[in-house]
Structure formats: structure tokens, C-alpha cells
Structure 1
């Protein structure tokens, strides 16, 4: 079993208190000469003033903090010690040799007041600690204040008025009477019961406050024992009892109030931690989260945070307690946003709308917070949907491309029919023996083959893409793509150089997808050379892999941006969207290959596509399955 520091401290103090009580009591003859018995009244007054002041402090703190704590235990505790403070005051001023108050001061009155104060205190502490600490709804402080005064007045009236009829509790030179002993035993029993209640609470809840309350009750128990064993009014045991009483009141304050303050501070620290965590979460939120209130007809930000806020060059401080108009600068946006904010506020319904701000497309959602039928604030979220809009535009471009492809296929189909006829007649002319005519016919046939090849490409664009893989000749596919793009290259003053190894093995691929990849990289290379240049396409192969290298003499890519190539929407072209390279990279990966990029700014870029050969592709598939 391990002890906490607080547990160990409370146990040590408790044993020291018991040891000190026994040591002083049994060594009273030794210590009696340390003080003058004639000063007992002054010593008693000083010690009682200490305990009275502490009792008043317990009452004042509980009374003042009630509107905040609403604690039933602290409420009754404060009025208990208000009652105890006044009974102790009457006990002090009626003490022997004190100036007369109402009647002549006497030890009998003083003992009755002191004993009743401790009895009321012990009974009330048991009752208070047995109470569940619920919240007090009504503020009844004035009534309990009046009740406490009434109780003290009643007890004071009885003792002062009927002092002669009250049985004595203490007899000089003889000690306590039987009645005083019985009352003392009852008080000790009540304090022991209360200590057990508190210890049980501590075992369950593990709150340090209960340890200090237990120590307070133990100190009051030691005080009661000391009060019950003295024989003379000037016994040193009586002085010790008052010291224990002051000590008990101190730990009552520490247990019920100081520990509550510590718990409140801990709870406040937890709240701050939660707020900071919430703040961090809001800051990491990709968009903007805000709360808006309406003041004097204007909408004011009370909270505005999120990653998008910083992307716009603003901070939380820039928007806090500021008008929404200062956020949306342009008159058109101010009017639009205020219109929708007023609509949400008045209709009490969620509103969603879009605006363009700082070249960003923003989706704004506004939801009213309603309390007792009235809108008290608006909670808003702002999301940057620019990329989504760009994607939608790309999809529209794809749809347009499909339409153009279908139209091109139709045109190509119509061109192919007369081409077939022309080629037929040219073949007939070619059979003549005129060498000059044959030369011209061969040139024309070659150009017609070129036109037919281009029309075939248009036809391919409109055909449904088959996902079925076949063994294909990449060199032949590259030749077709180069033939298709050569007119564009000539227009851009770009010369395409194609080098390959003869007899290369086929690659297991989807032909149209590979055409798309080659078209994307060749077009990107040509566009990277606005002033013209050379594009080198090299195909080579080893036992397991086929490599296609595209090397241009273009502007190149900065080294720090190379890792971003292939990400959606990353592009260095003003009109590009980065999807071409992304789709090409994905196709290569679906073919169990990979892409490598090297570039030097101002000198050019080299892209190497590595694909498995037919045998290697089959092996990789079998490993996956």
C-alpha cells in the first residue's frame, strides 16, 4: 500500500497532536511553572478571540461565495460557525474575572456556553457531512442568519435568566460533573462518527479536502478530550484544548474552502486546456469556423479561426469583435453576405451560399442558434471550394472533349470513304510505267497514308476504352503518337528524335491508356520549349523491364518543386491543371510500373517510365494474387 504525500502529512500531524496531548497532560506538573495562573483570563481571551475570528471567517467566506458555489454543505457550514462564534463570544465574555455583561461573570455560565457551542458544533457537523452536496436553488441566507441569531439569543436568555437553576458542569478543585462527562462523551462519539464518515468519503473519492476535514475533526476531538480531563480552571490542559480548537478551525477552513479553491483552480486549468485544445482544433480546421452576433444592426465576429483565415493573410485578432463587412472588402460581397446573414437571422433557418473572394470560391454555411425562441448568434463555416470548382471545370472539359471526339470521328469517317477511292485510283496510276508519274504518285500515297493515320487516331478517340490488357509493341504505339503529334511539333519548332532498340519484347498494357500517357508527356515537353528545341525519346529494354525516356530542352523544374509533380492541380503552366501528369502517373502505376523525374532549371527535364516486360508483368500479378 502506497501513501500520498498529503496522507502521510495528515497521519503524522494526527499522531503528533495525540502525542502532544498526552505529553502535556502527564507532564503538567513540569510545565505548570511555565506560565502564571493569574494570567489565565488573558490567555483564555486571546485563544478564544482566535477561534471566534476563525469561525467568523468560515461564516463570511461561505456567505459571500454562496451565489457562486450554491453548495448546500458550505451553506449550512457557514451558519453553523456563525452560531458557534457567538456562543464562544458569550463563553468568553462570561468567563471568570471578565467584566460583567448583563449579569455578573461566572465560571458556570462560561462552561455552559462553551459546552453547548461544542455540542451544537459536533451534532451539526455530523448532519452536514451526511447531507448530499446538492445545489441550493433559493437564496435563504437572510432567513438562516435570523435563525442563527434567534438560536444564540434563546440559549443566552436561558443561561443568563436561569443560571441558578441550571445544574453545574464543573466544580472547582473537583473537575467535571457527571453531566459534563456525559456531554463530553457524546461530543467525542459524534466527532469519531464524523471522522469515519469523512475517511469513507476519502476512500471513495480520493479528494485531499476530506483528509484536511478529518484532521480538523481529529483536532477538535483532541480539544474535547483536553476539555474533559482538566480539574482546575487554570490547568494547562485547558490552554492546550483551546490551541487544538484553533487548530481544528484552521483545518476546517483548509478542508472546506482552501481545497475547494484548489479544486476550482484545477478545474479552471482543465477548462483552459480544453479551450486551448479547441482553439488548436479550430486552427487546424481547413476552412473557417466563426460565431457572429448582431449589434446595432451590424454583424460582429465573436470568434473566427481556421487555416483558411491565415491563408487569406488574417489572424484571429484581426477579426475579433470586428464587423463582417471588414472581412468581405468588396461592396458586392458585403451586400451579398449581409443579405444572407439577415435572412438566416430573421428566418431562423440554415442558409448556404457561394461567393468569390480573393480569387477563391467560397462555400458559406450559416446556422442560427436559438434560445427561448430568439436568435442569439449565428454559427458559420467557410470552405474553400476552388479546387472542387476546378475539378468540375475539368470534368466539363472532358465532356466537351468527348463531344469533340465524337464529332471528329464522324468527320474522319466521312473523310475515309473518299480517301479509299482516291487511293484506289492512285494505285492504278502507279501501275503505269511512267517513272515520273510513279514518283509523284508515291509522294501523294504517302501523304494520303498520313491523313488516313490521323483519321484513324480520331476514330480511336471516340471508341469505348477497353480495360483489357494485351501484349503490345510500345515502339509501334510511340510511332503512331509521334506521327499524330508531329504537325504540332513542327508548328512549335520542336524536332522529335526517336531512338529505340530493334526486336524489343512486347509490354502487357492497355493500348489506348499508353497512348494517352505518351501524348501527355510529349505535349508537356513541347510546351516546355516555347522557343523550339529538341525532344529525345529513347526506348530500351533489359531482361525484366522496358524504359521510355522523354528528354526535352525546356525551361526545367525548380528542384524544390520536383516532388510535387504528379499531384493534382500542381502545374507550372498558366492554363494547366496538373491532371494530365497525375492521370499518367496513375496509369503507369496500374501497369505495375513507376515514373522518375529529373530536371535542371533552364536546361530541361527528363522523365523515365519503367514498365515490366510481358514475363515480369505476369510474375508481379501472380505475387499479388
Structure 2
């Protein structure tokens, strides 16, 4: 009804004017009735009132639509500003000279500069000097070539000091004549990513150095082992001949010499294991059975140290793919290290199970634990905390685990013990549909 309000009002005003005209003309002036004139006057007033009201209705409807569109645009603009002011990426717009014309609130969080003090300043003012010298020629070349967008990384000077890295996505704007008129873009904080990449680069360099050291150690080990073994065999043989004709006192000394020669042979054997590439035969096997056999093998040795070996296996079957003999060597070495770390006795807990799609094995002791400096050096050739250790056992273990692509985690605290956790890829063996006649093996532990 409001859509036709003007036309209705116009018609009513027209009828009202006709009534007023008739009252004045016929009642007050007592003029004779002139029906054609009255009809003509009535039609003219009604037509004028109708079209005046129609014009009013059109203008009023247009005005209402404009208000609605303005309210809608304001709502959209408010929502857009809300989004722009709350996203983590910086959104900006510049003119043809590079001055900021728009910045959202993320700019202050990123750079430390407020939006008000940054507007209408040149964007290059906030770049570090080195990047400024590189970016300016690059942008000039891109504009000369008529490129419409580009992405690059730059470093910014923060207001409170320090440097942050930003990834800029820039879009160039040109007028109809191809003249550059400004740009819009975003800046994403990638400082953490850059630092992570730098740390990874340093880590890779350190690993490369360690790899070279291991290669050199392997070559030296092979050379030393071969050079020393031959004369050592001769010395051992002649000493054995001397022992047959030696006095009791001399035999005591010779026994000490033979013990030290055996220790030298042990070191040489470990050196050769470190230097010589070992043939690995990968096959699927149940690591629970392997751990059970290893724990039984070392239980007698553990009793001598007043150490109890406790096992906790989530399942009876946890299949992995690898060289069982080599992994046995790893488990034996880790358990022996745990036993030797508890001269006053204690408990070694061996756990195995499945977590996050991987098979894990952990060996936990209650020994003296290690300092952070010691943890950082674990696996380095010839580094050991034992008085009679060679420093090669753990190096060999880590190489075996690396060949098996196992994740190794070590956690140790002084006075609280050490935990080695190994993560392997699980192998799901195909089920054989046969009738079972045996009984399920009871969990060990």
C-alpha cells in the first residue's frame, strides 16, 4: 500500500479541491451550474493529482531503494573491514610511488608501527637496507615488463628492534594506458619458518660433518684393525710360549697381559663392525619373541648385578620388517648398558606395543641418568662414560637403527634413569585361514 501512497494522496487532494471549488463557486458565489466545466476541472485535477502522486511514489521508492542499498553496502563494508582487521596477514594498498594508502590492524602486530603513523609513508622505508637495494630494481623491472603479480620474501625492521621476515604477495594495477597506478597485496609473517629453515640448514651441515667424521673413523678403524691384528697374533703366540716356561710370578704378569690383549681384540672387533658394511637381510618377524629371548638371555647376567628385568608387552604379536640378528645386537647393547648403569641393583623395564600406527620398543633403567652434555654426545665414536668402554657399541646400534629407518628417542635425567624408545613401521602379515589347534601364547612379563 505504501508503494502507491503518493497517487492515493494526489487523488484525494484533487477531489478535495473539486469540493472546495464547487462550494465557493456554487454556494458562496451562487453561480449557475456548468456541468461540462465542472467535469473538465474535476478530470484535470484528478489527472494532475495522480501523476504528481506517481512522481512522488517513484522518487520515494528510488530513495528507499537507495537507502536499502546503502545500508547493505555499509553492512558488507563493515563485514569486510571486520575480516580485514582481524586476519593475521597484513593487507595493504599503495599508490604509484609506493606510499601506503591502506593498512589493516595486523600491520601493527607485525611491525610494531601503528597504522596511523605508517599511512602515507613509503613502504620501502620499513624494509631492511639490504633488501631495499635488491627489491627496488626488481619491482622496477617487473613494472617495465607489465607484470601483474609477484611473490617474494623480505625482511622488515621492527619498531622495538629486531628483524622479521615477511612473504609478500603483490598485485600491480595499471590504467587504460598501461601506466602503473599502484598496488595491493598481503604480507605473511614467516619469521619462524625462516628460523626453522636456518636451523635445519645448520643441522644438515652438522650431520654432514658428523657423517664425514664417521667415514674417516671407519677408514681409520679398518686400517688400524688390520695393521694391529697381525702383530698382535704373533705377540700373543710368543707370549703363550713364554708362559709355558714362566715362573708363577711371571705367569701372573702374563695373565694380565693376555687380559689386555683380549681387550684390544675386542676393540678391534668393534672397529671392524663399525668400518665394514654389514649385509642386512630384511624379513618379517615378531619383535615380541625377539625381546622375550633377549630378556631371557640377559636375565642371568642381570642377577649378578642384582637387577630385575621386567617386560610389558601390549600384544603377543607385533610384526616388523628387519634383520632380527642385528636388532638383537641393539637390544642386548641397550639392556647391558642399563644393567651396568645400576651397580646397586634396580629394575629394567622393557615395553613393546603399538602407538600411532607404529610399533614401539622402550628400554627403561633406574640408573644414574645422564647430563644434557652427555646426551648430546651419544653415538659419537669413542665417546663413553664407562671406565672400560670403547665408545663404539652405541655408535654401531644407531647405525643399525638408521638402516632400519627407526626413530630413536632418548630421555634421561640425573638420578632418575634413562629411557631409550625405538619406533618401527608395523608389518601386517596376511592371515592364513586354517583351523587353529594350538593355544594362544600367554603374555610375557
In the superposition, the TM-score normalised over structure 1's length comes to 0.40
Which structure is larger by alpha-carbon Rg, 1 or 2?
1
Higher normalized contact order (CA 8 Å, seq sep 6+, divided by chain length): 2
Alignment partner of 1:116 is 2:47? yes
Return closer, same or farther for 1:516/1:445 CA change in 2, 3 Å cut-off. Answer: closer
Instruction: Report the Cα offset of residue 343 of structure 1.
Output: 3.8
CA deviation vs aligned residue, 1:509-567 (integer Å, no higher than 9, x gap): 757789999999xxxxxxxxxxxxx9x996334898964126665679xxxxxxxxxxx
Higher share in strand: 2
Aligned to 1:368: 172
Query: Matched residues in 2 for 1:498 and 1:412: separation?
Result: 36
Within a 5 Å distance, the mapping from 1:431-442 to structure 2 comes to 431-432=240-241, 433=243, 434=246, 435=251, 436-442=253-259
Query: Matched residues in 1 for 2:19 and 2:38: separation?
Result: 11
Picking from 299, 302, 309, the partner of 1:501 is: 309
Which structure 2 segments of 5+ residues have no match?
26-33, 157-161, 296-304, 335-342, 354-359, 373-397, 432-445
Instruction: Report the Cα offset of residue 454 of structure 1.
Output: 3.8
Alignment partner of 1:272 is 2:78? yes
Aligned to 2:357: none
Query: Matched residues in 2 for 1:409 and 1:302: separation?
Result: 62
Return closer, same or farther for 1:318/1:88 CA change in 2, 3 Å cut-off. Answer: same
Query: Matched residues in 2 for 1:369 and 1:375: separation?
Result: 6
Alignment partner of 1:457 is 2:274? yes
Instruction: Report the Cα offset of residue 114 of structure 1.
Output: 1.4
Return closer, same or farther for 1:356/1:305 CA change in 2, 3 Å cut-off. Answer: same
Q: 2:92 is paired with a residue of what secondary structure?
A: strand
Return closer, same or farther for 1:500/1:375 CA change in 2, 3 Å cut-off. Answer: farther
Query: Matched residues in 1 for 2:311 and 2:285: separation?
Result: 18
When structure 1 is superposed on structure 2, of 373-382 and 499-508 the one drifting more is 499-508
Query: Matched residues in 1 for 2:91 and 2:101: separation?
Result: 7
Picking from 94, 100, 105, the partner of 1:293 is: 94
Return closer, same or farther for 1:595/1:309 CA change in 2, 3 Å cut-off. Answer: farther
Query: Matched residues in 1 for 2:82 and 2:292: separation?
Result: 61
Return closer, same or farther for 1:273/1:595 CA change in 2, 3 Å cut-off. Answer: same
Aligned to 2:348: 539
The answer to whether the Cα contact below 8 Å between 2:308 and 2:348 also exists between their aligned partners in 1 is: yes
Instruction: Report the Cα offset of residue 446 of structure 1.
Output: 0.2
Query: Matched residues in 1 for 2:227 and 2:311: separation?
Result: 36
Within a 5 Å distance, the mapping from 1:297-446 to structure 2 comes to 297-300=97-100, 302-303=102-103, 310=109, 313=112, 319-328=118-127, 330-349=128-147, 350-356=149-155, 358=162, 362-372=166-176, 373-378=178-183, 379-382=185-188, 384=190, 385-386=193-194, 387-432=196-241, 433=243, 434=246, 435=251, 436-446=253-263
The answer to whether the Cα contact below 8 Å between 1:539 and 1:547 also exists between their aligned partners in 2 is: no
In the superposition, the TM-score normalised over structure 2's length comes to 0.53
Which structure 1 segments of 5+ residues have no match?
1-9, 15-49, 56-83, 99-104, 126-248, 479-496, 521-533, 557-582
Q: 2:100 is paired with a residue of what secondary structure?
A: strand
CA deviation vs aligned residue, 1:598-623 (integer Å, no higher than 9, x gap): 97xx97686464889xxxx88x7679
Aligned to 2:364: 549
Return closer, same or farther for 1:121/1:519 CA change in 2, 3 Å cut-off. Answer: farther
Within a 5 Å distance, the mapping from 1:565-584 to structure 2 comes to none
Return closer, same or farther for 1:449/1:311 CA change in 2, 3 Å cut-off. Answer: farther
The answer to whether the Cα contact below 8 Å between 1:293 and 1:377 also exists between their aligned partners in 2 is: yes
Return closer, same or farther for 1:394/1:326 CA change in 2, 3 Å cut-off. Answer: same
Q: 1:369 is paired with a residue of what secondary structure?
A: strand
Number of equivalent positions? 345
Q: 2:197 is paired with a residue of what secondary structure?
A: helix
Within a 5 Å distance, the mapping from 1:122-271 to structure 2 comes to 255-258=61-64, 260-271=66-77
